[in-house]
Amino acid sequence: MSAIEIRLASRPHGAPTLENFDLAEVDVPAPGPGQLLVRNTWLSVDPYMRGRMSSAKSYAPPYEVGKVMHGGALGEVVESDVDGFAPGDTVLHGLGWRTHAVLEPKHAAKVDPDAAPVTAYLGVLGLTGLTAYAGLFDVAGLREGDTVFVSGAAGAVGSVAGQLARARGAKRVIGSAGSAEKVRWLTEELGFDAAFNYKDAPVTDQLAKAAPDGIDVYFDNVGGEHLEAAIDSLNLHGRIVVCGMISQYNATEPTPAPRNLSQIIAKRFTMRGMLVGDHQHLRPEFLAEVAPMVTDGRLKYSETVVDGIRNAPQAFLDLLAGANTGKMLVRLQAPPR
Ligand SMILES: NC(=O)c1ccc[n+]([C@@H]2O[C@H](COP(=O)([O-])OP(=O)(O)OC[C@H]3O[C@@H](n4cnc5c(N)ncnc54)[C@H](OP(=O)(O)O)[C@@H]3O)[C@@H](O)[C@H]2O)c1
């Protein structure tokens, strides 16, 4: 039996393409003493991976050309001589983009497949959910009665952020997304008060219309024109949490700062970047609050599932192009028994 891994073939210039990825068939790796062999069942593809495909210095080291890529994954333990891990256990870990992984137990977290659908741990109850929670409550300091604008609102982080703002007493929650169907999902199913398709007309105009009394919090997943629009609509002492700037990830030239940044003086607003890794201490309270909301359906989530490791690169390209609603995941088939 062989394993498959996806390697970075070359660094993209601008938007990545399938040429930037290589698929390699390799032997199933053999675990050493004290290690686990895991057969991956689900892979996460995420926008931050675009950054790791480039050589630019950032918070996560660049992927190496010619080497297998990394990312969040769920898998089933196949071999273990480690106390606490048995064949059949489901584990969450960071060696995605491959069918099989050898792991030190300290890098594998067991998840209970009976507590929630396991994929939730890659999305709504995992890092993406925690990002929304930390960004909204720890960084932006959401208060009851705030009007909140979330960009990338139909994505994994954005869809959770908007619903959490609503659940914690926001006065009005507004979202932007890239299709009419996503806009419908936000307003008709997730409880956003208003949403718009940012491709239909200038974001500044659409946001001003959706928020006639201005916004107090902007949860930024997109940057660029969205950030400028949010600054225009921001109320006195407004707060911006910069979670992501996906509109700029494929830029080949430095992108201009928001042209209206000088409003920071008159409006005395704050703008703070965030990295979910700094907020891991919130995980217990996040799970205590959000897991029951997921279980009883108060917080809805969606997953877009692509099948097969061979389609993982395309799933990643499709994520950047907006093919997903909610979390983008790659499902790996179990080998025939
Ligand atoms: N700071 C942190 O710790 C942290 C952690 C996780 C994620 N993030 C960031 O949070 C953001 C969302 O991540 P996610 O995992 O939830 O991904 P996601 O939102 O599920 O997927 C990415 C979405 O971005 C949208 N998009 C792509 N290009 C765009 C553009 N030019 N303008 C506007 N929207 C565009 C697409 O939706 P449309 O159809 O709406 O265009 C696409 O579905 C990303 O910026 C990511 O880098 C940050």
Return the amino acid letter for 314.
Q
75 in contact with ligand 1, CB cutoff 6 A: no
What was the pLDDT predicted at 126?
96
126-181 pLDDT, tens per residue? 999 999 999 999 999 999 999 999 999 999 999 999 999 999 999 999 999 999 99
72-115 pLDDT, tens per residue? 999 999 999 899 999 999 999 999 999 999 999 999 999 988 88
Query: Please, what is the Cα angle at 136 between 133 and 137, to 5 degrees?
Result: 80
What was the pLDDT predicted at 271?
98
162 in contact with ligand 1, CB cutoff 6 A: no
What was the pLDDT predicted at 115?
83
The rounded percent of the chain whose pLDDT value lies above 70 is 99
274 in contact with ligand 1, CB cutoff 6 A: yes
Cα-to-centroid distance, 3 and ligand 1 (Å): 30
The rounded percent of the chain whose pLDDT value lies above 90 is 94
Q: Answer yes or no: is pLDDT of 335 > 70.
A: no
319 in contact with ligand 1, CB cutoff 6 A: yes
286-296 pLDDT, tens per residue? 999 999 999 99
154 in contact with ligand 1, CB cutoff 6 A: yes
178-192 pLDDT, tens per residue? 999 999 999 999 999
What was the pLDDT predicted at 337?
53
Q: Whose CA is nearest to atom 20 of ligand 1?
A: 155
Structure tokens at 277: 């890794």
57-76 pLDDT, tens per residue? 888 899 999 999 999 999 99
Q: Which atom of ligand 1 is nearest to the CA of 321?
A: 27
Cα-to-centroid distance, 159 and ligand 1 (Å): 11
pTM tops 0.95: yes
Q: Which atom of ligand 1 is nearest to the CA of 224?
A: 32
What was the pLDDT predicted at 116?
87
Instruction: Output the CA torsion sign for 55, 331, 38, 3.
Output: negative
211-245 pLDDT, tens per residue? 999 999 999 999 999 999 999 999 999 999 999 99
What was the pLDDT predicted at 200?
98
Q: Which atom of ligand 1 is nearest to the CA of 246?
A: 45
CA distance 38 to 91: 8
Cα-to-centroid distance, 251 and ligand 1 (Å): 15
What was the pLDDT predicted at 238?
98
What was the pLDDT predicted at 336?
55
Question: What's the average model confidence in pLDDT over 313-324?
Answer: 98
Compute the mean pLDDT over every residue in the chain, rounded to the nearest whole number. Answer: 96
156 in contact with ligand 1, CB cutoff 6 A: yes
Cα-to-centroid distance, 201 and ligand 1 (Å): 20
Instruction: Report CA 131 to chain centroid distance, whole Å.
Output: 8
Q: Whose CA is nearest to atom 38 of ligand 1?
A: 178
158 in contact with ligand 1, CB cutoff 6 A: yes
